C-alpha cells in the first residue's frame, strides 16, 4: 500500500506553505467582507504580483539560471529583492535546482520530475525531502556575483521586510492620509499584497513545473515532457511555451513567435532598449525551424508506423499520399540540416515556404488522427 513518508517531511517549508495558503483562503475573504477593499490595495496587489513574477521569470529564471542576457546592476538588484519576496528560496538555490531540472528532465535527478506525478512536480518535491540534498556544484558562476551571494545570505529577511512589512506600512500610511483607520489599511496590505500575493505567485510558478509538463503541444520535441500552451503562458508571464524553452534554454524568449504572449521577453527587450540589458541570446530561425521539422517528421513517421501496423496503407491527403508528404518533408528537412550545419544563411522566403509545408503536414496528420481521411 502507498505510504506517506511523514519521516521525510520538510516541516519548515510545509508549515509556511500551509499557513500562507490557509491565511489567503480564510483571512483574506474575511478581511474583504468586513473591511472591503479600495483602489490602493488593488494597485498594490497588482504591482507586487507583477514585480514578484517578473523577478522570477526575467531574473531568477532567464537571467541567473540560463544566462540568456546580461543585465546592469539596477535590474539585478530589483529582481533579487522582489524575487526574495516570492519566498521560493534564494536565487542561488533556485538556479541550482532549475539547472538540474533541465539537465535531468523527467529523470530521477530532476528535482521536480513530472514522471513522479503531477502533485510531486507541483508541490510534493518541496514538502518531502526523499533524497539527500545534492551538492550545489552547478552554480559556481553565480557564486562569483556578490549581489547573488548577498541575497543568498539575507533572502528571508529581504522577503519579510520588502514582501510583508512594506505593504503593511504602505496600507497603514494610505489610510492615515485619507482619514481612515491605519490598522485596517496595514492589515489589508499585509493580507492582500503580502500573503495572498505570495500564494498566487508561488502556485503560478509551481504550475511551470506541473501543468507546463502536462498541458499543451510539443512542436519542437517530444523527447521530453515539456509542453507549449498559450493558456499557461498567460498565467505564467510567458513561461508557458515550455517545449520551446526546454529545446532552447539559452534563448531569452520563450514565446518565440511574434504573436505569442511573453511579457518577460518584452520586458527584457525593453530593458535592452534603455541600456539596462545587453547580449540578448536568440536561436537562429533556421535552427528553430529545423527542430519543428524534425518533430513533425517524427510524429508523421510514428503515425505511418501505426497505420501500417493495423494493415492500412498510407492514406491520401491533399497533394499525394501521407507517405509522399512525409518523404517530401524529409528532403527539405535534410536540406535545412545541411544549411544549418554549414551556417548558410537561408532567405526569409525559403524559411517561410518550408515552415508552411511543415504546418500543412501537421494539420493533415491531425485530420488523419481525428478520422478525417480522404481515401
User: Which residues here bind Zn ion, judged by CB under 5 A?
Assistant: 226
Q: Whole-angstrom Cα distance, residue 62 to residue 55?
A: 10
Nearer Cβ to Zn ion (117/306): 117
Minimum distance from CB of 164 to Zn ion (Å)? 28
Nearer Cβ to Zn ion (31/246): 246
Minimum distance from CB of 66 to Zn ion (Å)? 6
With b for 16 or more beta-carbon neighbours within 10 A and e for fewer, the 272-288 pattern comes to beeebbeebbebeebeb
Looking at the DSSP bridge assignments, the partners of residue 278 are 70
Residue 40, number of CB atoms within 10 A of its CB: 19
Report long-range pairs for 179-187 (Cβ below 8 Å, ≥24 apart).
Answer: 184/35, 185/41, 187/31, 187/35
Nearer Cβ to Zn ion (250/353): 250
Minimum distance from CB of 55 to Zn ion (Å)? 15
Nearest residue to Zn ion by CB is 226
Minimum distance from CB of 181 to Zn ion (Å)? 45
Q: Is 17 within 8 Å of 127 (Cβ atoms)?
A: yes
Minimum distance from CB of 81 to Zn ion (Å)? 21
Q: Whole-angstrom Cα distance, residue 181 to residue 48?
A: 23
Q: Is 111 within 8 Å of 100 (Cβ atoms)?
A: yes
Minimum distance from CB of 61 to Zn ion (Å)? 6
Beta pairing, strands 70-71 & 277-278? antiparallel
Q: Whole-angstrom Cα distance, residue 163 to residue 141?
A: 27
Nearer Cβ to Zn ion (201/208): 208
Nearer Cβ to Zn ion (41/65): 65
Nearer Cβ to Zn ion (102/355): 102
Nearer Cβ to Zn ion (20/249): 249
According to DSSP H, which parts of 144-282 are helical? 146-160, 166-177, 182-188, 197-209, 230-235, 242-247, 263-273
Minimum distance from CB of 246 to Zn ion (Å)? 6
Amino acid at each position: 500500500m502507498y505510504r506517506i513518508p511523514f519521516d521525510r517531511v520538510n516541516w519548515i517549508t510545509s508549515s509556511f506553505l500551509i499557513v500562507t495558503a490557509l491565511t489567503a483562503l480564510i483571512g483574506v475573504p474575511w478581511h474583504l467582507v468586513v473591511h472591503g477593499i479600495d483602489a490602493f490595495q488593488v494597485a498594490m496587489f497588482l504591482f507586487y504580483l507583477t514585480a514578484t513574477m517578473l523577478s522570477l521569470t526575467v531574473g531568477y529564471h532567464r537571467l541567473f539560471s540560463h544566462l540568456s542576457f546580461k543585465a546592469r546592476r539596477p535590474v539585478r538588484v530589483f529582481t533579487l529583492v522582489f524575487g526574495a519576496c516570492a519566498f521560493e528560496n534564494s536565487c542561488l538555490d533556485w538556479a541550482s535546482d532549475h539547472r538540474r531540472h533541465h539537465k535531468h528532465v523527467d529523470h530521477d535527478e530532476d528535482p521536480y520530475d513530472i514522471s513522479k506525478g503531477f502533485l510531486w512536480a507541483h508541490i510534493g518535491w518541496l514538502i518531502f525531502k526523499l533524497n539527500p540534498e545534492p551538492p550545489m556544484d552547478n552554480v559556481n558562476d553565480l557564486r562569483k556575483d556578490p549581489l547573488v551571494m548577498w541575497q543568498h545570505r539575507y533572502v528571508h529577511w529581504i522577503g519579510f521586510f520588502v514582501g510583508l512589512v512594506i505593504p503593511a506600512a504602505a496600507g497603514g500610511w494610505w489610510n492615515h492620509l485619507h482619514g481612515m483607520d491605519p490598522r485596517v489599511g496595514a492589515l489589508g496590505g499585509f493580507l492582500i499584497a503580502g500573503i495572498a500575493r505570495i500564494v498566487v505567485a508561488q502556485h503560478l510558478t509551481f504550475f511551470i513545473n506541473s501543468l507546463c509538463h502536462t498541458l499543451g503541444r510539443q512542436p519542437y520535441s517530444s523527447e521530453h515532457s515539456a509542453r507549449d500552451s498559450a493558456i499557461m503562458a498567460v498565467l505564467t508571464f510567458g513561461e508557458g511555451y515550455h517545449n520551446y524553452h526546454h529545446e532552447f534554454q539559452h534563448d531569452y524568449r520563450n514565446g518565440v513567435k511574434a504573436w505569442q504572449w511573453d511579457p518577460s521577453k518584452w520586458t527584457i527587450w525593453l530593458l535592452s532598449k534603455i541600456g539596462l540589458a545587453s547580449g540578448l541570446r536568440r536561436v537562429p530561425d533556421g535552427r528553430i525551424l529545423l527542430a519543428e521539422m524534425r518533430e513533425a517528421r517524427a510524429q508523421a513517421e510514428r503515425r505511418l508506423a501505426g497505420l501500417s501496423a493495423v494493415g492500412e496503407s498510407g492514406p491520401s491527403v491533399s497533394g499525394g499520399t501521407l507517405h509522399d508528404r512525409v518523404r517530401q518533408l524529409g528532403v527539405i528537412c535534410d536540406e535545412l540540416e545541411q544549411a544549418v550545419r554549414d551556417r548558410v544563411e537561408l532567405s526569409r522566403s525559403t524559411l517561410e515556404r518550408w515552415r508552411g509545408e511543415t504546418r500543412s503536414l501537421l494539420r493533415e496528420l491531425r485530420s488523419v488522427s481525428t478520422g478525417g481521411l480522404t481515401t
